[in-house]
Structure 1
Amino acid sequence: MTSVPLPLLPGDLAACCAPIAGGVLDEEAAERIAQVFRALGDRHRVRLLSLIAAADSGEACICDLTGPVGLSQPTVSHHMKQLVEAGLITRDQRGKWAYYRVVPGALLTLSDTLRASETAAAPHG
């Protein structure tokens, strides 16, 4: 049996091989995004982040976060450290208590990243 190569027309090539995203992430950007998603890969951390974001004062004391999630203070502190290292929240030490705030724009950036992924995954037609 003989195979015959079929030529691709320029339009066919564009339709079949168009990039699925606006650009390729460099190694540093990919690691940053992966760290954020690793931090959000735990339901307790997602809940803690939502509690801080919903706080009337825009911040939450570690002492106010243990009850709603049903975890000990050392465990909550561990989770908070992961969120700080991922760049999602900041920590301010006041006496013996730590207070946390969502980093301005962090949730918007995360939302934009997810929206871009959703757009890239949409069928091309």
Structure 2
Amino acid sequence: MITPSEVFKSLADETRTRATLLIASLGELCVCELMCALDDSQPKISRHLAQLRGSGLLLDRRQGQWVYYRLNPELPRWVNEMLLVTTHANAEWLSVNVSRLQNMDDRPVRVAASC
């Protein structure tokens, strides 16, 4: 069970906050999409995603050469609600990131995960 202090520690960094809110609003994203949206290097993005995965906020899956991240479906309701409200209230703050992602060339094609 993730605690409030773990959630807020995980989101205390702007890169982790932006990545989490993008995933919360757009769904599953791969590392390359987050690199484009956040205009940052693969090592930095991967390090932040590893922290978010370690905290239990995100889960990952590999599809060929791509690693995709999504919100952990077992997050408590209050976490999902907080992310949803924060995303909607801060659409302008995320608009540059969303625009970069929408203009990304060669976005990877998703294949539905088999569960």
Q: TM-score range by the shorter chain?
A: 0.5 to 0.7
Name whichever of 33-42 and 84-93 sits farther off. Answer: 33-42
Q: What corresponds to 2:111 in structure 1?
A: none
State the superposition RMSD in angstroms.
Answer: 2.3
Shift in Å at residue 33 of structure 1?
3.4
Q: Equivalents in 2 of 1:112, 1:69: separation in Å?
A: 23
Q: Could you tell me whether the CA contact under 8 Å between 1:88 and 1:107 is conserved in 2?
A: no
Q: 1:77 aligns with which of 39, 46, 49?
A: 46
Q: Could you tell me whether the CA contact under 8 Å between 1:60 and 1:99 is conserved in 2?
A: yes
Q: Equivalents in 2 of 1:72, 1:99: separation in Å?
A: 16
Q: Equivalents in 2 of 1:100, 1:111: separation in Å?
A: 16
What 5-or-longer segments of structure 1 have no aligned partner? 1-28, 114-125
Amino acid at match of 1:87: G
Q: Deviation per CA, 1:34-54: give whole Å up to 9, x if none.
A: 322211110110100011111
Shift in Å at residue 106 of structure 1?
2.5
Q: What corresponds to 2:55 in structure 1?
A: 86
Q: Equivalents in 1 of 2:52, 2:32: separation in Å?
A: 17
Shift in Å at residue 112 of structure 1?
7.0
Q: What corresponds to 2:13 in structure 1?
A: 42
Q: 1:59 aligns with which of 5, 12, 28?
A: 28
Q: What corresponds to 1:95 in structure 2?
A: 64
Structure with higher RCO (Cα < 8 A, 6+ apart): 2
Q: Deviation per CA, 1:12-47: give whole Å up to 9, x if none.
A: xxxxxxxxxxxxxxxxx7x84332221111011010
Q: Could you tell me whether the CA contact under 8 Å between 1:32 and 1:86 is conserved in 2?
A: no
Residues 5-44 of structure 1 mapped to structure 2, 5 A cutoff: 32-44=3-15
